[in-house]
Structure 1
Amino acid sequence: MDSGWMAVWPVAAFFLGGLATQVTGWLNHRRQRAERAADEASALQGRREEFELSHLVEFNGLLRQNMTCLYELSTAVEQYRRAEGRDDLTAEHGVALRAAGDALEAAEASVNAQLGFILDDAVRGLAQEAAAEMDSMSAHILAGENVTFGEVRAKTDAAYNALSKRVRALYAGRPVAA
């Protein structure tokens, strides 16, 4: 019986070695697949954050430009109306008013085009409220109504704060570069 077992052990060792190799290969494959999936998820998250950061910063600038154009339109309308009331209206007043209106229209179009690229729902909602308030304010300005900028400033300040907070949150989640 001893010689029988001696013949079985090499065969058993061969099969056990093959089985161990297969199990090790399978475990390595699973580990590598999990590592690849984690790397891909990390790369995807990084691309998402880069996209979001660039658009948040860009939108902040566009919103500020829109506000500047709104002030410039208000000034141009006021100067036009004053000159009109004094019978002192010149072609330059009309040119300045058209230029301010065109600049505001372009700024509003840029803001509205970028609104959809804000990924965070809360931030996008505040940005939409600010943009809508600016659109409404421009209509009141062009209608010659006396306007105060309190409400539009409050809405844009809320949007600026939300944009800044989101950018800080995105950067806080990133590793510090050396």
Structure 2
Amino acid sequence: MTTARPISVAELLDLADELAGRGGTGPPTAIKLRRSISSAYYALFHELSFRATQRLLGSASWGATEAAVARWVTHTDLATLARAATGGGSPALRVALGWMNEEVIRIAEAFLDLHDARERADYDDTFDVSAAVVLSLADLARDSVNRSVRMIDSGDPTYNRFLALAMGGVKVAKNR
């Protein structure tokens, strides 16, 4: 039996920095800049799906069950939830979320910014971006992951509600 190991958020953040040329010599290529954006986005996505899974299962460990449940969190649903957390999108989700701590809103805004940048970097042939912008996106992802850790450590109820709704709440709200 293979042991499941969560995708390392820290390694994705480090990869985003490396691809963007942080601390390196010479300018990074366009494809490295694009992949850096993708790595930064995936770092935050996996942080959120990991935390939502832990919250749902009440587990601090990571195994095959947690890995399977984490796959329930989709990119589209998380973006929909983040839009609601920032005051837009689904009225049903906004009601379910209620008042949100400003730190949670900042995580949601960062997720949306990174999601949009990743979509453009991965699918828009005309997308052009500078190393400075890519490094700022990597910093945004790192800051958001750190915010997530602080929100978990503090037991913030609004963040717990956000994470709970990431585990299927978007699909339920669509049917209401």
Q: Same fold (TM over 0.5)?
A: no
| Larger RCO (alpha carbons 8 Å, 6+ apart) | 2
* Higher percent of residues as helix: 1
TM-score (norm 1): 0.32
TM-score (norm 2): 0.32
